[in-house]
Structure 1
Amino acid sequence: MSEKSTETSATERLIQVLDALDARPAAARLRQRSYDLLRAEPGDRVIDVGCGTGLAAAELAARGVKSLGLDLDDRMIAEARRRHPDAEFQVADALRLPFGDGELTGYRAERVLHNLPDMPAALAEARRVLAPDGRIVLLGQDWDTFIIDSDDPDLTRTILHARANLVPNPRSARRYRALLLDAGFADVEAEVHTGVFTDPLMLPLIAGVAQAVRAAGAITEEQRAAWIAEQTHRARNDRLFVALPMFVAWARRP
């Protein structure tokens, strides 16, 4: 398989996982919570950084907000445009936003900071493009707080921590509040929402975790196969249990 085909396949798998997560009522409520925290009114200019397939940007636009979805992956932007032709999307880097100083009233980023090489620089850039009293909302998972029930807790712990170590900033979400304060934001607050998943829709995510850890050499192929077999058996017998805390932080640009 060519490198291009491998990248396309990985993007398609990521889209499938994101679609499964975003379709859940709890995820919809969390998105609405983030929109409320932005306090965006019709006509306000808001960006959704790392927009993926564009759902949040489209939902904000439906509220009358002048929203723009940004993503570094041109394949994600192409899919967002296909799904939401009435919304606006652009390929852009969170570290070099295509806006002048103080142009925006809102900045939203979901599941983004943990992948960035320089989180303080990204938040400095967010502060730069926000107008005074502009709002920022960050959402994301802490990769060290995944919970998956298993008959082999030691192997599960090894898998989950090894997967966290593959992320550039696996513990970024627990740092949101401190990062925002360090970046000069005011009125910083934070909360956590824990999603509980018990159906087979989570199996692709679980399988992806194990495969990534196997590829990194942290477990053997036999361990990967046995762990996935157990999780598949649990799913078929209504015994799957995954808990995923999502951290939310918000602040105002003074």
Structure 2
Amino acid sequence: MTKETNRPDPADRTRQATETLIALLDAADRMPGVADLRARSYELLGAGPGTSVVDVGCGAGRAVAELAERGADAVGVDPSEQMIGVARARWPEADFRLAGAYELPLPDASVDGYRADKVFHILAEPERALAEARRVLAPGGRILLVGQDWDTIVVDSGDPALTRAIVHARADLVVEPRSVRRQRGLLLDAGFRDVTVEVRTGVFTGPTMVPVLDEMAEKACSTGAVTREQADGWIAEQHARAEADRLFLALPMFVAAATR
């Protein structure tokens, strides 16, 4: 009689992945410049008293709560039941609903603003999401997309070629790693007008981003793009740079806005 192998429960893996993502998002919210970027997104939406906004991929709900503080009637949607549970626990007075970007639980022409922050890079069908955005937005409503270009992460290193290999290998694990390059064209193709694009670049020189760099190298190693020895050496270099106050990471965030 063979001994049964203990296999991880898929539900446990999903729960652990979501908990890790929540912790990462919470850490990202505390980074310099992030609060200003969120505030800029609300400004571009024209969010305020008498307006209604849907935050797509709301995660743990911070933006929904901040939009409500500005007087907007805000609703957050997210496809993760666990995320929605966390959001409801943190902001019990806010409106959170379980839904994805392709099928929003809202009537036609029912909101003045549509916001999606770090969402479109995980969507295999961005055109479908934008069609849904047009459906729920009232005429003259505003859409706001925030995201990063996963190939455009700048890291100082003594081995630029290895760094490029790590950055690109990590990017290739994302569904749509270069989605922000397409957003202006996608918005125009979807019938939006007055499209603008801004970029805000976060520059990080302290140890806060070391776990992010570790994750990049580990992911690149898992794909075979770099060897275990290369990944370990690169990680050690970045840790040493952080300890010597010589770490440098620049992360551009692109903000696209348009009118329905």
Give the TM-score, by structure 2 length: 0.93
1:189 aligns with 2:196: yes
Secondary structure at the counterpart of residue 140 of structure 1: strand
- Equivalent of residue 233 in structure 2, options 226, 231, 245: 226
**Where does 1:139-150 land on structure 2 (aligned, <5 Å)?**
139-150=146-157
Residue 31 in structure 1 maps to residue 38 in structure 2: yes
Indicate if the aligned counterparts of 1:17 and 1:204 stay in contact, CA closer than 8 A. Answer: no
Report if the CA contact (8 A) 2:32-2:202 is conserved.
Answer: no
Question: Could you tell me which amino acid in structure 2 is paired with residue 156 of structure 1?
Answer: T
Contact 1:115 1:168 (C-alpha < 8 Å) held by counterparts: yes
Using the alignment, how far apart are the partners of 1:212 and 1:157 within structure 2?
Answer: 14
The aligned residue for residue 209 of structure 1 is 216
Query: Does residue 125 of the first structure (1) align with residue 132 of the second (2)?
Result: yes
Secondary structure in 2 matching 1:102: coil
Shift in Å, 1:10: 2.2
Paired position in structure 2 for 1:116: 123
Give 1:1-254 correspondences, 5 Å limit.
1-253=8-260
Deviation at 1:43, TM superposition (A): 3.1
Give secondary structure in 1 for the equivalent of 2:47.
coil
Give the drift of 1:41: 2.6
With over 3 angstroms needed to count, the CA separation of the structure-2 counterparts of 1:229 and 1:9, relative to structure 1, is farther
* Separation in 2, partners of 1:152, 1:11: 33
Instruction: Give the drift of 1:4.
Output: 2.8
Kindly state the Cα deviation for residue 105 of structure 1 after the two structures are TM-superposed. Answer: 0.8
SS at the partner of 2:67? helix
Q: Distance in 2 between matches of 1:135 and 1:19?
A: 27
Percent identity for Structure 1 against Structure 2:
57
Structure 1 Cα separation of the partners of residues 104 and 227 of structure 2:
42
Give the direction of change, closer, same or farther, for the CA distance of 1:9–1:211 in structure 2 (3 Å limit).
Answer: farther
Residues 48 and 57, structure 1, Cα contact 8 Å, conserved in 2: yes
Compared CA separation, residues 16 and 236, structure 1 to 2 (3 A):
farther
Q: Once the two structures are superposed, what CA deviation does each residue of 1:183-211 show, in whole Å capped at 9, x if it has no partner?
A: 00011111111100111111121122222
Give the total of aligned pairs. Answer: 253
Amino acid at match of 1:150: S
Residue by residue over 1:188-246, the C-alpha shift from the partner in whole angstroms, topping out at 9 and shown as x without a partner, is 11111110011111112112222222222222222222211111111111111110000
In 2, Cα distance between equivalents of 1:238 and 1:41: 41
Cα distance in 1, alignment partners of residues 250 and 48 from structure 2: 34
Q: TM-score, normalised by structure 1?
A: 0.95
Instruction: Measure, in 1, the Cα distance between the counterparts of 2:93 and 2:211.
Output: 31
Separation in 2, partners of 1:217, 1:121? 33
For structure 2, which runs of at least 5 residues remain unmatched after alignment?
1-7
Q: 1:225 to 1:5 in 2, by over 3 A?
A: farther
| 1:124 Cα deviation after fit | 0.8
Runs of 4+ in 1 over 6 A off after TM superposition: none
Alpha-carbon distance, 1:52 to partner: 1.2
One-letter amino acid matched to 1:20? A
Unaligned regions of 5+ residues in structure 1, if any?
A: none
SS in 1 for 2:211: helix
